């Protein structure tokens, strides 16, 4: 498999993209606390049939980390303009966590540009806000912590490994699932100048994200949707009724709880996830 890496200017920022394969385009959007490295188990498999495009989101990885523009409508525009630069008219879209929030907004804002949508281990932003109580607030403490101006950056600086180790250990079914070179890769990514602030800016767009989501809360996603989540993740699968939640978002829906899995299905259970992706994408012909 030939893997291409390149930077391309779209929507006013330089986006870093990993690409492989030929055929109908499939875009993969990573979540927090990750980069497009999160898709290392999916890209080789999908690239046998599809043109796979995996950008680093605004503020993450090797993509630029501007001071503004982190509301999900603008991050969806990042993807729209990337497609324009790559001369791609329509995609199948896969998003995990924060990338699923961008993907959901993209599917609502550009329904004619997405053929099908996969969302992984994600509760939509407005639903987290709507259902927030003491139990959910405890599980989503990091949502609130990351909203505090400047303090997270000050506390995390020089301790990126401790910050990330907490999330990867607490959020995975196997606490050692992200270890060794994989863990070191993420640590290096968040040690880069502006990287922690970029991730914090993503979270700090929360109020605007909710406002945008409320504007079209009654509009369901038009394309087929597959929702996957880790059956054992205390903050998503064990806390929310995921089939019910995603039935609020889409009518043409299938759902799957991934066993022995936490927040990172694509990394914790790649064979199961790859099988589900290939089946869901089977009739996508571009």
What's the pLDDT tens digit per position in 125-172?
999 999 999 999 999 999 999 999 999 999 999 999 999 999 999 999
Minimal CA–CA distance to 92: which of 127, 131, 53, 44?
A: 53
Q: What is the mean pLDDT of residues 248-256?
A: 97
Q: What is the mean pLDDT of residues 228-257?
A: 97
Q: Is 203 a catalytic residue?
A: yes
Q: What is the mean pLDDT of residues 167-180?
A: 98
Torsion sign, CA atoms 110, 116, 122, 126: positive
| Res 1 pLDDT > 80 | no
Q: Is 97 a catalytic residue?
A: yes
| Res 188 pLDDT > 90 | yes
CA dist 43 and 27 (Å) reads 10
Minimal CA–CA distance to 201: which of 75, 95, 78?
A: 75
Q: What is the DSSP letter of 285?
A: -
Query: Which of 71, 78, 97, 213 does the annotation list as catalytic?
Result: 97
For residue 80, what are the β-bridge partners?
none
Q: What is the mean pLDDT of residues 22-45?
A: 98
Element (H, E) at 91: strand 91-96
Write down the pLDDT at residue 106.
98
End-to-end CA distance of the chain: 21
Band of residue 173 on the pLDDT scale cut at 50, 70, 90? very high
Per-residue pLDDT of 89-100, as tens digits, reads: 999 999 999 999
Write down the pLDDT at residue 170.
97
| Res 2 pLDDT > 90 | no
Residue 26: exposure state from Cβ atoms within 10 A (0-12, 13-18, ≥19): buried
| Res 48 pLDDT > 90 | yes
Band of residue 259 on the pLDDT scale cut at 50, 70, 90? very high
Write down the pLDDT at residue 235.
96
- Averaged confidence pLDDT in the chain: 97
Q: What is the mean pLDDT of residues 31-41?
A: 98
Q: What is the mean pLDDT of residues 66-87?
A: 98
Query: Which of 203, 209, 213, 256 does the annotation list as catalytic?
Result: 203
Write down the pLDDT at residue 49.
97
Q: Is 71 a catalytic residue?
A: no
Band of residue 181 on the pLDDT scale cut at 50, 70, 90? very high
CA dist 18 and 39 (Å) reads 10
Domains of the chain: 3-281 (3.40.50.1820)
């Amino acid at each position: 498999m030939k893997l291409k890496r390149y930077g391309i200017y779209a929507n006013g920022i330089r986006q870093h993209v990993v690409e492989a394969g030929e055929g109908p385009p499939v875009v993969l959007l990573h979540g927090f606390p990750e980069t497009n490295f999160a898709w290392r188990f999916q890209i080789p498999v999908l690239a046998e049939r599809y043109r796979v495009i995996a950008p680093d989101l605004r503020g993450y990885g090797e993509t630029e980390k501007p001071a503004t523009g982190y509301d999900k409508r603008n991050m969806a525009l990042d993807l729209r303009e990337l497609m324009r630069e790559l001369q791609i008219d329509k995609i199948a879209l896969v998003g995990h966590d924060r990338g699923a929030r961008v993907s959901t907004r993209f599917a609502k804002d550009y329904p004619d540009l997405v053929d099908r949508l996969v969302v992984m281990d994600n509760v939509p932003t407005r639903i987290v806000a709507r259902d927030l109580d003491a139990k959910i607030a405890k599980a989503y403490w990091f949502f609130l912590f990351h909203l505090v101006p400047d303090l997270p950056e000050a506390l995390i600086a020089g301790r990126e490994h401790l910050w990330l180790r907490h999330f990867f250990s607490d959020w995975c079914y196997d606490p050692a699932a992200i270890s060794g070179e994989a863990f070191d890769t993420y640590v290096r990514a968040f040690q880069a100048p502006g990287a922690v602030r970029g991730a914090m800016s993503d979270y700090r767009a929360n109020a605007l994200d909710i406002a945008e989501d409320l504007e079209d809360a009654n509009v369901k996603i038009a394309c087929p949707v597959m929702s996957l989540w880790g059956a054992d993740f205390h903050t998503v699968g064990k806390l929310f009724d995921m089939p019910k939640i995603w039935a609020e978002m889409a009518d043409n829906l299938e759902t799957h709880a991934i066993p022995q899995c936490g927040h990172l299905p694509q990394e914790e259970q790649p064979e199961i996830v790859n099988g589900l992706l290939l089946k869901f994408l089977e009739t996508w012909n571009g």
